[in-house]
């Protein structure tokens, strides 16, 4: 296992926790409308090899769209992609045959919205934004989220395609439940965007683990686990086994480590190692993170081989392989 000067960082982390931040006075409160020029140009990163999704976000950022709207554009591409069996339309159902979607968004002001276990609505990342902007709440679940979507005019769509129904019926002959998440069976789209003003926002969208128990909710709608953004520091998003991401509050952890001085790379590595330390080295599930800081630096880390992410900057959209900790 890579150690990446872990002891040194732990010491820095302990010292950092001793520094008590000063209370914000009216004059030193962050001004979210302030225009900060992002010299390096906008950046979009997203989980896995979602080339078209990340290009959609990157081009939106270049045409001056804000970070949150651009991140949602990327999520929408995969939500509509019927070949993607882990997000939106065509997503694999639960073990009873219901396709249920989870999503969340977080913007540069620290506002967030989330929906869980939503049926018959394709664009759940946009719905999460509507929860954030049009309700006094952060999270809406199931029928409540669906009625809210209907009231806003969202189209009703049967999310179970013929193909995903066939795969589910095939699976149900043996009903073996061993979710393996990797490049052939990737999950969640998680997106982080930095716009021309230097503001960071993110979005997550997923149908969750294939053939999950009815009612199971993963990390992708849990702010702090699947996604966290602090515009003073940066953001992080997760993919993989949601239960383990929730147990370690992975995305919040990464942003807080970056606040203490970790680079995005070291922060992602530490969040992955924290899971491995809890589980031992025989972990048979995948978790991966990507992170983006205020300087435009990117980090990424995964438990197992096979995770890649996309990075769009200055017109270039690259798929990047990520280092893993366990080779098995
Ligand atoms: N990471 C998606 C899920 O566990 O539902």
pLDDT band with cut points at 50, 70 and 90 for residue 114: very high
pLDDT digits (tens, 9 = 90+) for 133-160: 999 999 999 999 999 999 999 999 999 9
Q: What is the pLDDT of residue 117?
A: 98
The pTM is what? 0.88
User: Does 20 reside within a domain?
Assistant: no
Q: Report if residue 289 sits inside a domain.
A: yes
The Cα 140–Cα 114 span in angstroms is 7
Per-residue model confidence as pLDDT tens digits over 48-97: 999 999 999 999 999 999 999 999 999 999 999 999 999 999 999 999 99
Pocket of ligand 1 (CB under 6 A): 187-188, 206, 208-209, 218-220, 239-242
pLDDT of residue 20: 36
Mean pLDDT of all residues in the chain?
88
Q: Which pair of tokens denotes residue 235?
A: 């953001």
Contact of 182 with 39, CB cutoff 8 Å: no
With 50 as the cut, is the pLDDT of residue 212 above it?
yes
Per-residue pLDDT tens over the stretch 244-296: 999 999 999 999 999 999 999 999 999 999 999 998 777 888 999 999 999 99
| Cβ atoms of residues 287 and 42 within 8 Å | no
Total structural domains within the chain: 1
Does 17 map to a domain?
A: no
Atom of ligand 1 nearest to the CA of 239: 1
Please give the number of the atom of ligand 1 that sits closest to the Cα of 217: 5
Q: What is the CATH number of the domain that holds 170?
A: 3.60.20.30
DSSP string, 233-296: TEEEEEEE-HHHHHHHTHHHHHHHHHHTT--HHHHHHHHHHHHHHHH-S---S-EEEEEEETTS
The rounded Å distance from CA 293 to ligand 1 centre is 23
Domain membership of residue 251 as a residue range: 3-12+27-326
Q: Which of the listed residues 103, 181, 217, 218 should we mutate to test ligand 1's pocket, taking the one with most ligand atoms within 8 A of CB?
A: 218
**What is the spatial distance between Cα 104 and Cα 138, in angstroms, rounded to a whole number?**
9
Measured in Å, residue 314 CA sits from the centre of ligand 1 at: 31
**Residue whose CA lies nearest to ligand 1 atom number 4:** 242
Compute the distance from residue 238 Cα to the ligand 1 centre, in Å.
Answer: 8
Report the atom number in ligand 1 closest to the C-alpha of 102. Answer: 5
């Amino acid at each position: 296992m890579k150690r990446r000067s872990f002891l040194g960082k732990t010491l820095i982390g302990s010292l950092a926790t001793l520094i008590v931040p000063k209370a914000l006075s009216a004059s030193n409160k962050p001004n979210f409308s302030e225009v900060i020029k992002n010299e390096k140009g906008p950046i979009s990163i997203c989980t896995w090899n979602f080339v078209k999704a990340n290009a959609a976000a990157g081009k939106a950022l270049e045409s001056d769209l804000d970070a949150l709207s651009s991140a949602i554009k990327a999520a929408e591409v995969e939500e509509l992609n019927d070949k993607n069996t882990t997000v939106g339309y065509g997503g694999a159902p639960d073990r009873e045959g219901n396709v249920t979607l989870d999503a969340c968004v977080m913007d540069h002001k620290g506002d967030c919205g989330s929906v869980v276990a939503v049926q018959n609505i394709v664009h759940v990342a946009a719905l999460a934004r509507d929860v954030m902007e049009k309700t006094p709440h952060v999270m809406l679940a199931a029928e409540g989220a669906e009625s809210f979507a209907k009231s806003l005019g969202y189209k009703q769509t049967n999310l179970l395609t013929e193909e995903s129904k066939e795969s589910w019926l095939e699976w149900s002959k043996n009903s073996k439940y061993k979710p393996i998440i990797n490049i052939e069976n990737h999950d969640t789209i998680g997106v982080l965007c930095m716009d021309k003003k230097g503001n960071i926002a993110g979005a997550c969208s997923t149908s969750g683990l294939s053939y999950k128990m009815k009612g199971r909710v993963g990390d992708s709608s849990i702010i702090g686990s699947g996604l966290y953004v602090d515009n003073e520091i940066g953001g992080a998003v997760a993919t993989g086994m949601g239960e383990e991401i929730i147990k370690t509050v992975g995305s919040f952890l990464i942003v807080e480590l970056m606040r203490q001085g970790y680079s995005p790379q070291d922060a992602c590595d530490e969040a992955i190692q924290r899971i491995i330390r809890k589980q031992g080295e025989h972990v048979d599930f995948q978790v991966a993170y990507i992170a983006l800081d205020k300087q435009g630096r990117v980090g990424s880390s995964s438990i197992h081989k096979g995770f890649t992410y996309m990075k769009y900057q200055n017109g270039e959209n690259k798929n990047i392989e990520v280092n893993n900790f366990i080779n098995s």
